Chains A and B, each alone.
Chain A
Amino acid sequence: MNIDLAIDLALLGLLVATAIGVARTGDLFAAVMLTGIYGLLSASFFVVMDAVDVAFTEAAVGAGIAPLLMFTTLAMTGRYQQNPKFISAASLAVVAAMGVLLIYASLDMPAFGSPDAPAHLYVAPRYLTQSMAEIGIPNAVTSVLASYRGFDTLGEVVVIFTAGIGVIAILYSKRIEGQPERPASMHQHRVLRIVGKILIPPILIFALYVQFHGEYGPGGGFQAGVIFAAALILYSMLFGVKTAKKVINYAAVRLLAAFGVLLYGATGVLSLFAGQNFLDYDALAEDPVAGQHAGILFIELGVGITVASVMLLLYFAFADRQRLEGDD
């Protein structure tokens, strides 16, 4: 039994324990804390599985932003659920039957990590052997994300942008403007405030590093966007949304969210005008590989800007909505 397998088993065991904990607790605050732990555990698992880019994203989202938005929601909806001990025998039977059937089906799966598994046979070897010559960057994940499957990624960015618009449309109300600002949720904790102040600038610089080094090491627009936003959200939690909005121009953030998508789309249109297919960056420069580099740089920047702005807008939308609490 090698050490990798042991870590794998331990992490997966902890994941199951955390999930059971979430199912059993009636205290939603604890359940959200457990989802944060769950996110961190799955990020560690992704590192063990050599999926470093995914681990980055999951650590920032699963252990950072997701629990944060849930806490903000809890502050408006109440901490305890009713009938936490309620057990539905029918649902239990149905999901157990599903589990048994899936385990039966899993017996036909190729063995874990096997080189002959269908997943490793068709398109993956091409990405790994040809991308260095075609795209010219070491991180194969970035090559696939930004170039080979660039159209798919454009769709994802549009989904994120649309969800951001949706949340603002649902939560924004004219009445919010007239309400007094709420004090910052963590401002009274001196240790948090000082440690936060020290931590925020390095986090921002690290996000920029992840953004612009994403072609050579793990990283890219999605990871950089969430890390950047996490730092700014931390700032608004420590010093209040009002102070944060003095530092970050709210109207500009809204514009930037759209600008990122536009930058991505415009790069595609540019290659269209240069006589190639949509998002085929070969056309962007004399040398196809240089064109690929330029294209990837632009669209990753677009992704980073949109993701960071939307995450920030989401947090502001929830934090502002809290100001309405208590007047109705």
Chain B
Amino acid sequence: METVASLFNYWVVIVLMTIALYIIVAQHNLIKKVIGLNIFQTSIFIFYISVGNLEGGTAPILKEGIDDYSNPLPHVLILTAIVVGIATTALALALIVRIREDYGTIEENEISERDRT
């Protein structure tokens, strides 16, 4: 029970990662794949923030009389990663819009079929 409580967050991250990877690999729809990438990305965010958490700590805004803070470094890395993530997601979506205009579909199998013929 001790192990379960102390590792539960990491396991949830792994489950989310697995679901997201399945969406990316197995589903043919390109938008679905982008959503999968987003879920995968967020699972990494949850992992970093969980690692940075400190039992009994508080948010890293320094104040007299408080000694325990969560680790600010993962927060910095993840908050920039979120904004970079939306910018790259937008780039992927833009490519999907163009693919749809040229191929008439955003299903991966149909796209490769059209490329072969």
Measured CB to CB, the residues of A under 8 A from B are 5, 8-9, 12-13, 15-16, 19-20, 22-23, 28, 31-32, 35, 38-39, 42, 45-46, 49-54, 56-58, 61-62, 65-66, 69-70, 73-74, 76-78, 81-83, 86-88, 91-92, 94-96, 98-99, 102-103, 106-107, 109, 111-115, 117, 119-120, 123-124, 127-128, 131-132, 138-141, 143-145, 149, 152-153, 156, 159-160, 163-164, 166-167, 170-171, 216-218, 220, 222-223, 225-226, 307, 310-311, 314, 317-318, 321, 324, 328
Contacts and interface: CB of A to CB of B under 8 A. Distances in A.
A109 B49 CA distance: 14
A94 B25 contact: yes
A19 B20 contact: yes
B28 A82 contact: yes
Most chain A CB within 10 A, of B11, B94, B100, B110, is at B94
Contacts, number: 298
A70 B96 CA distance: 10
Contact of A32 (B35, B45, B78): B35
Given A42-B45, A106-B7, A114-B6, 16 more contacts: A5-B5, A16-B16, A22-B39, A31-B32, A31-B35, A35-B35, A61-B82, A88-B26, A112-B53, A139-B60, A144-B73, A156-B83, A163-B84, A166-B91, A226-B86, A324-B101
B115 interface: no
Given A16-B15, A16-B19, A73-B31, A113 B53 contact: yes
Given A99-B14, A128-B72, A170 B91 contact: yes
A148 B87 CA distance: 24
B70 A61 contact: no
Given A109-B7, A310-B87, A57 B82 contact: yes
A13 to B, nearest CB: 8
Contacts of B101: 324, 328
Most chain A CB within 10 A, of B8, B27, B79, B100, is at B79
Interface string B61-105: 111000011111111101111111111111101111110110000
A51 B62 contact: no
B21 A98 contact: yes
Contacts of A70: 31, 34-35, 93
Contacts of B82: 54, 57-58, 61-62, 222
17 contacts: A39-B42, A42-B45, A45-B46, A50-B69, A50-B70, A88-B26, A98-B18, A113-B54, A113-B56, A123-B73, A124-B72, A128-B60, A145-B79, A156-B81, A218-B61, A311-B86, A314-B87
Nearest to A146: B76
A291 B59 CA distance: 26
Contact of B39 (A35, A149, A223, A321): A35
Contacts of A120: 54, 71
A92 B26 contact: yes
A127 B61 CA distance: 11
B89 A95 contact: no
Contacts of B9: 8, 12, 112
The 3 closest A-B pairs by CB, nearest first: A111-B6, A163-B87, A113-B55
Contacts of A171: 94, 97-98
Nearest to A115: B54
B31 A74 contact: yes
Nearest to A39: B42
A50 B59 contact: yes
Contacts of A54: 45, 49, 75, 78-79, 82
